[in-house]
């Protein structure tokens, strides 16, 4: 019974890790595509300023750089507004309570599914094996 429980936990961990890896790969590919699109757009804007308007290359580069600087300043101005209002100290104080609540909830579910005696036996064996190392 303990081996099946351990194998189920291992399988769940493997499934969650593979799901996270897949999400990270998809997000990384999307970010790379976004960066290439942004670079292509900047080059196109530069050539549009040079060819259609007739600006000198240095002027067109200055305009593109100024627009990027303005965009960066807008993003930096909006970033604090989008941040959470909860301070780090409050989060640090609430974190142990939330962790204990999650552990208590998981322990009550495990007790309902498996029973109290097998859980005590598993805890005893785990503690014994942990002290042997």
Q: What is the pLDDT of residues 17-33, one digit of tens each?
A: 888 888 889 999 999 99
Within 8 A by CB and 6+ apart from 107, the residues are 119
Q: E-strand spans in 1-133?
A: none
Which pLDDT score is estimated for 92? 56
Which pLDDT score is estimated for 9? 80
Which pLDDT score is estimated for 86? 53
Maximum distance among all alpha carbons in the chain? Answer: 83
The owner of tokens 């259609």 is: 52
Contact 126, 5 (CB under 8 A): no
Which pLDDT score is estimated for 98? 74
Give the separation between CA 3 and CA 118, rounded to whole angstroms: 12
The residues of the chain scoring below 50 in pLDDT are none
DSSP code at position 51: I
Which pLDDT score is estimated for 115? 74
Quick one: how many helices (H) and strands (E) in the chain?
Answer: 4, 0
């Amino acid at each position: 019974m303990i081996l099946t429980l351990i194998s189920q936990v291992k399988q769940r961990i493997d499934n969650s890790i593979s799901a996270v890896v897949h999400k990270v790969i998809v997000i990384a590919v999307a970010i790379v595509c976004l960066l290439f699109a942004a670079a292509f757009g900047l080059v196109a804007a530069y050539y549009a300023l040079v060819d259609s308007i007739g600006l000198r290359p240095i002027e067109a580069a200055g305009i593109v750089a100024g627009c990027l600087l303005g965009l960066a300043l807008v993003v930096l101005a909006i970033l604090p507004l989008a941040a959470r209002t909860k301070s780090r100290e409050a989060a640090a104080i609430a974190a142990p309570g939330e962790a204990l609540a999650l552990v208590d909830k998981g322990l009550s579910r495990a007790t309902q599914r498996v029973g109290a005696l097998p859980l005590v036996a598993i805890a005893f064996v785990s503690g014994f094996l942990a002290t042997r190392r």
